[in-house]
């Protein structure tokens, strides 16, 4: 019942189960796996697909011939395992050239190089069948705002995305772009720090219909925000083009924990939202195993991400079928037909009727809503006592 199923489109980036455990205070604890080894690992644990940054597969200094050979062997592993590549992205954050940003760098040569690198990475992604292209601007930010006019930075980011939308159209790649927000780390502050900020920015682009968001649990949580509400806004706007699932303890560095590893309740309501709204995109686990883990632990991590999602999806179905919970919700949302004439789109008559209506304000404030009982039922459902 909790085994991963293709219908859930579970994916992992090469960099997730390939994470060697390096952190700012420690050296790698696991050997590096080749892309082909990672594809087979993911197939073994039951993943549906695999994602990549350009340099996860093709080293930044690879020759065209080396690149083609690496792609050939990667494609062979995909064919052998049946894994698909729904998403691709560019590493615009590791190389020192991007130390002051890529698209927003003060150096026009860096901005131009970032466009070149991204176009080549888009070519690679298209060759592998990717239809979603993620942009995470890990270095698009500042430590000192003396360094860059933030308005100018946004203009540069917009110019780059407009150019790349045109490139995708010119090449016939059919990409949908998904912008991933993060409030900080590795920059002191990252521009467009939240999913909400990205949604506002998309409206300023030349091709807003091509561009959506890729919210990540850890990133909105780092900003102290309710991730479920951020995803709800993206869904409402028809802009949830992709999603990065993991977990995070608020007020910490980007922990990228196994999905469900920390905040069970938020993870439950997130899965409930995605399933209730019939989200059809990939469920991408942008996460990695604890640094404490060996290769067996990495498999435990990957299986745990998917198994936790399947368990919470079953809990969401249980919530939707629970008579007591549904009774409480029905009472909360009971129709009040006497208000019907006052509801709906504006009309002068409706406005006049609203202004003339007499409300019993005290009664409105005295109504008990039963949320304590409702939330206790959720707790008991999650704790397995219902």
Q: Which residues of 343-364 are buried (b: 16+ CB within 10 A; e: fewer)?
A: eeeeeeeeeeeeeeeeeeeeee
Q: Which one is catalytic: 23, 40, 44, 53?
A: 53
Active site residue 207: no
Active site residue 61: no
Q: Give the one residue of 286, 288, 310, 312 binding ligand DIG; rule: CB under 6 A.
A: 286
Which pair of structure tokens corresponds to residue 255? 């922990």
247 touching ligand DIG, by CB under 6 A: no
Q: Give the one residue of 138, 244, 285, 310 binding Mn ion; rule: CB under 5 A.
A: 244
Q: Quick one: 13 or 325, whose CB is closer to Mn ion?
A: 13
Q: Which of residues 200-219 bind ligand DIG (CB under 6 A)?
A: 216
Q: Quick one: 100 or 140, whose CB is closer to ligand DIG?
A: 140
Pairing of strands 132-136, 141-142: unpaired
Q: In whole angstroms, give the CA distance from residue 286 to residue 271.
A: 16
Give the contacts of 58 (CB within 8 A, at least 6 positions apart).
Answer: 66, 67, 70, 71, 124
54 touching Mn ion, by CB under 5 A: no
256 touching Mn ion, by CB under 5 A: yes
Q: Is the peptide bond before 317 cis (omega within 30 degrees of 0)?
A: no
Q: Give the one residue of 286, 289, 302, 312 binding Mn ion; rule: CB under 5 A.
A: 286
Question: Please, what is the Cα angle at 47 between 13 and 9, to 5 degrees?
Answer: 90
Q: Which one is catalytic: 54, 56, 256, 286?
A: 56
56 touching Mn ion, by CB under 5 A: no
Q: Quick one: 130 or 378, whose CB is closer to Mn ion?
A: 130
Give the contacts of 323 (CB within 8 A, at least 6 positions apart).
Answer: none
CB 256 → Mn ion: shortest distance, Å?
5
Q: Quick one: 306 or 382, whose CB is closer to ligand DIG?
A: 306
244 touching ligand DIG, by CB under 6 A: yes
Q: Give the one residue of 21, 254, 288, 298 binding Mn ion; rule: CB under 5 A.
A: 254
Q: In whole angstroms, give the CA distance from residue 181 to residue 8.
A: 24
With beta carbons less than 8 A apart as the criterion, state whether 194 and 216 touch.
no
CB 320 → ligand DIG: shortest distance, Å?
30
Q: Quick one: 89 or 105, whose CB is closer to ligand DIG?
A: 89
- Kindly report the number of other CB atoms within 10 A of residue 52's CB atom: 25
Q: Quick one: 132 or 325, whose CB is closer to ligand DIG?
A: 132
Element (H, E) at 75: helix 64-81
220 touching Mn ion, by CB under 5 A: no
Q: In whole angstroms, give the CA distance from residue 75 to residue 56.
A: 14
What's the order of all strands across the beta sheet hosting 10-13? 211-213, 176-180, 132-136, 87-89, 49-53, 10-13, 283-285, 244-245
Q: Give the one residue of 89, 132, 255, 267 binding ligand DIG; rule: CB under 6 A.
A: 89
State the residues that interact with ligand DIG by CB under 6 A: 13, 89, 134, 136, 180, 216, 244, 286
State the residues that interact with Mn ion by CB under 5 A: 216, 218, 244, 254, 256, 286
Residues catalogued as catalytic: 53, 56
């Amino acid at each position: 019942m909790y085994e991963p199923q293709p219908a859930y489109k579970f994916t992992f980036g090469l960099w997730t189960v390939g994470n060697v455990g390096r952190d700012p205070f420690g050296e790698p604890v696991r050997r590096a796996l080749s892309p082909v080894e990672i594809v087979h690992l993911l197939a073994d644990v039951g993943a549906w697909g695999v994602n990549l940054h350009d340099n996860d597969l093709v080293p930044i200094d690879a020759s065209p011939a080396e690149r083609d050979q690496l792609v050939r062997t990667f494609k062979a592993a995909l064919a052998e395992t049946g894994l698909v590549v729904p998403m691709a992205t560019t590493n615009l954050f590791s190389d020192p050239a991007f130390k002051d940003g890529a698209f927003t760098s003060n150096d026009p040569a860096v901005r131009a190089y970032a466009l070149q690198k991204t176009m080549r990475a888009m070519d690679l992604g298209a060759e592998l069948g990717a239809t979603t292209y993620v942009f995470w601007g890990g270095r698009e930010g500042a430590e000192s705002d003396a360094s860059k006019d933030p308005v100018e930075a946004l203009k540069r980011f917009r110019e780059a995305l407009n150019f790349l939308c045109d490139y995708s159209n010119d090449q016939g790649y059919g990409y949908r772009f998904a912008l991933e927000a993060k409030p900080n780390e590795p920059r002191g502050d990252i521009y467009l720090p939240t999913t909400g900020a990205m949604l506002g920015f998309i409206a300023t682009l030349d091709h807003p219909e091509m561009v959506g968001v890729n919210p990540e649990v850890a990133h909105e949580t780092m900003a102290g925000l309710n991730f479920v509400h951020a995803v709800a806004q993206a869904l409402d706007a028809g802009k949830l083009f992709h999603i990065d699932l993991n977990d995070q303890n608020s007020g910490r560095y980007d922990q990228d924990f196994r999905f469900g590893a920390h905040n069970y309740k938020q993870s439950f309501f997130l899965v409930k939202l995605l399933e209730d709204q019939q989200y059809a995109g990939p469920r991408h686990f942008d996460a990695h195993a604890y640094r404490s883990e060996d290769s067996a632990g990495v498999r435990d991590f990957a299986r745990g991400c998917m198994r936790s999602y399947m368990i919470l999806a079953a809990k969401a179905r249980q919530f939707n079928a629970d008579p007591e919970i549904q009774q409480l919700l029905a009472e909360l949302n009971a129709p009040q037909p006497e208000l019907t004439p006052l509801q709906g789109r504006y009309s002068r008559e409706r406005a006049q009727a609203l202004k003339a209506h007499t409300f019993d304000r005290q009664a409105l404030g005295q109504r008990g809503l039963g949320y304590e009982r409702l939330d206790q039922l959720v707790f008991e459902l999650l704790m397995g006592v219902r």
